[in-house]
Amino acid sequence: MADKGVDGGRGRRSGVVNKQRGNSPQRFYVVLGLLVVVGALFIVRAARAPKVRANVTTAPITPATAEGYLMGNANAPVQIMEFADFECPACGNFAVITEPDVRNRIVNAGLASYRFFDFPLPMHKNTMAASNAAACAADQGKFWEMHDALFRNQPEWNTEATDNPKKIFLGYVKSMGINTDTWEKCFDAQTHQSRILANQAEGTRRKVQSTPTFVIGTRLIPGAMSYDVFKAYVDSAAKEAPAVAKADTTKAKSTTK
């Protein structure tokens, strides 16, 4: 503290301070304000407009009818679809932070049904394996358990963590009480590849360009969002003509695995 006083006293006599006193604080605050505004605009724009284009599949497999993974009552007043990539961090954050509230307070309350559609992105090398792992878990009625484990533990099995995600997935399979042999046969044979590609194709058809992207009622909303914003979209969709929302989602037949 004493230093400050001494410095302050000495500083007033120094040439450096005299030079600095000539500076206009107004100019500084104008530049500072400009930087803050430009930075804020950039961040807000980035938050609203994701730029990576989705992978458009050219696989030789003929896509089957798109099958989502349904949660809740298929005939609920509002239909929600999520297009997500298991390796995408934003999808993982949504699944871990917001989705539990969506399930408890919207889906379980009967306000809406929720369908998950795979939308694997090309830069994620392990995401297709994860989609396969989840599809094979769905065979044994454990899709959502696997969905949660995959998103919760992304850093354990993502592209950076391993070249062999199956080893990690097997750990999840065992902890869920899934028949390991059956799951492994399904995973190795990529039994549900066409189903995954169909889900992806459904997203491409709907002009999904980034993950996660939601379809709530008749609206397509890119990007993760908070529970409150999500609920507002659901409320808004509920007020719209239910028939419109129903007609929209029945274009993609869904299973209840």
The residues binding other proteins (CB under 8 A) are: 3-4, 7-8, 10-11, 14-17, 20-21, 23, 27-28, 31-32, 35-36, 38-40, 42-43, 46-47, 50-52, 87-90, 92-94, 97, 123, 154-155, 158-161, 210-212, 222-224
Of 160 and 188, the one with the shorter C-beta distance to other proteins is 160
Q: Taking the complex as a whole, how short is the minimal distance between the CB of residue 194 and other proteins, in angstroms?
A: 27
**Structure token digits, residue 61:** 């497999």
Q: Taking the complex as a whole, how short is the minimal distance between the CB of residue 66 and other proteins, in angstroms?
A: 22
Of 88 and 198, the one with the shorter C-beta distance to other proteins is 88
Q: Taking the complex as a whole, how short is the minimal distance between the CB of residue 253 and other proteins, in angstroms?
A: 28
**What is the C-alpha separation between 219 and 213, in angstroms, rounded?**
10
Of 77 and 212, the one with the shorter C-beta distance to other proteins is 212
Of 35 and 59, the one with the shorter C-beta distance to other proteins is 35
Cβ neighbours, 10 Å, residue 180: 11
Q: Taking the complex as a whole, how short is the minimal distance between the CB of residue 33 and other proteins, in angstroms?
A: 10
**Structure token digits, residue 6:** 């001494």
CA–CA–CA angle 124, 252, 199 (5° rounding): 15
**What is the C-alpha separation between 240 and 114, in angstroms, rounded?**
18
Output the DSSP codes for 94-128. Answer: IIIIIHHHHIIIIITTTSEEEEEEE---TT-TTHH
Helix (H) or strand (E) holding 11, with range, is helix 2-13
Of 91 and 252, the one with the shorter C-beta distance to other proteins is 91
Q: Taking the complex as a whole, how short is the minimal distance between the CB of residue 52 and other proteins, in angstroms?
A: 4
Residue 82's DSSP bridge partners are 116, 214
- If you compute the radius of gyration of the chain from its CA atoms, what whole number of angstroms results? 25
